[in-house]
Amino acid sequence: SQQGEEDPQALSIQEGENATMNCSYKTSINNLQWYRQNSGRGLVHLILIRSNEREKHSGRLRVTLDTSKKSSSLLITASRAADTASYFCATVSMKAGTALIFGKGTTLSVSS
């Protein structure tokens, strides 16, 4: 079963704009990760935020985590056409070892 939901399901923006995706989850977590997937191929790890962290940055990516609301957001600044992909949040449960539990994803389309 899916752990949570990403919102929105689809997002279309212009190059240079910022893209924000949200993720909600259901159970207590050890950490939360964001992955990108291009055209139904393998997933690429973007960033990991631990349950005791509130915000993390990596290049043009900013992730926040609110464990009280069981939610996270991914911000991509100054989007490029190459950012066009599906983005998934994945949680690592405190009970389920290191298995990743994914949401359904947000499909981002960046047009030039």
Query: Which residues make up the interface to another protein (CB under 8 A)?
Result: 1-2, 30-31, 33, 35, 40-45, 48, 88, 90, 92, 96-105
Give φ, ψ of 58 to 5 degrees: -150, 105
Closer Cβ to another protein, 9 or 14, answer by number: 9
Q: How far is the CB of 112 from another protein (least distance, A)?
A: 26
Closer Cβ to another protein, 49 or 110, answer by number: 49
Closer Cβ to another protein, 79 or 93, answer by number: 93
Kindly give, in sequence order, each residue whose CB lies less than 8 Å from that of residue 4, ignoring residues fewer than 6 positions away. 23, 24, 25, 26, 70, 89, 91, 103
Q: How far is the CB of 13 from another protein (least distance, A)?
A: 21
In this structure, how many other beta carbons lie within 10 angstroms of the beta carbon of residue 108?
A: 21
